[in-house]
Amino acid sequence: MDESRDNRFRTLPEPIRLEDTVVSVPSSTPDDPEAGRNVAQDQAVGVRETT
């Protein structure tokens, strides 16, 4: 075997700081899952099926 290939496993890589592993993503308001509709009323009159 090539000795240079084996040498790369003899030392550990540089440590990674915990602060470098956390990602911050700007948040936004989630969409309305009911799209502004009154689901209970729709179900009562049979307009919309439920799953």
| pLDDT of the residue at 16 | 92
Work out the average pLDDT over 40-50.
73
Work out the average pLDDT over 28-46.
79
| pTM for this model (two decimals) | 0.29
Q: Could you report the per-residue pLDDT of 7-32, keeping only the tens digit for each?
A: 777 888 899 999 899 888 888 887 87
The tokens for 39 are 């689901």
Higher pLDDT, 3 or 35: 35
21-49 exposure pattern, b = at least 16 Cβ within 10 A, e = fewer: eeeeeeeeeeeeeeeeeeeeeeeeeeeee
